[in-house]
Amino acid sequence: MLFTGTYRHTIDAKNRLAIPVAFRKQLEQAGESTLVVRPRWDNTGGLARHYLELMPLSYFQKGTGFAVTEHQLNLSAAEVDLVDATYADVVLVTLDSQNRILIPEDVMLRAGQEDPLNKRFLGTNVRMAGHRDRITVWNESDYIEYVKAREAKKAALQAAADRPT
């Protein structure tokens, strides 16, 4: 499954978010209707930006070693705590008949900065971006700042690669 592209969407007053057609097609082709939702953060450019990460349940299970116990992995106590925290932050949601997901209020509260205009987290206007096997949901202004910082970092890396040695 490959999610690509960036889309503008809105989260309605009931915390429902429509999944873009391109992403829905990927989910339908894979027979996926349950998504993992978890709050995440990024500090590209030195600023913490909060967002939500969505991924098909089967991908989350594969990526986290769902079927493997901590004892089989020989994890330290700190690593077990990290694994436990990963699962504690996860919420499972299912697409409704109108191809929307309902983002629980507590997840909205952990997902970002408060919108001063309507006291909502993540705000109403969001950007949904495909990132290979996952989808990210950002406050629109945070996403714009993230992209600017990412592009500056990419330009710096390219300039360094282009310098003669």
Q: What is the pLDDT of residues 100-122, one digit of tens each?
A: 999 988 777 665 545 444 445 67
CA distance 34 to 89: 16
Average confidence (pLDDT) over 124-142: 91
- Beta strands, E only, 6-156: 6-10, 16-18, 34-42, 49-56, 91-94, 100-102, 114-115, 120-121, 125-131, 134-139
On whether the CB atoms of residues 4 and 62 are closer than 8 A, the answer is no
pLDDT band at 39 (very low <50, low <70, confident <90, very high): confident
Homologous superfamily (CATH) of 6-162 is Transcriptional regulator MraZ domain (3.40.1550.20)
The pLDDT, as a whole number, for residue 50 is 77
What's the DSSP call for residue 36? E
pLDDT digits (tens, 9 = 90+) for 53-68: 999 998 888 875 444 4
User: What global pTM score does this model have?
Assistant: 0.78
The pLDDT, as a whole number, for residue 66 is 45
The pLDDT, as a whole number, for residue 73 is 61
pLDDT band at 88 (very low <50, low <70, confident <90, very high): confident
- Out of 17-21, 82-86, 110-114, 137-141, least confident range: 110-114
The pLDDT, as a whole number, for residue 146 is 85
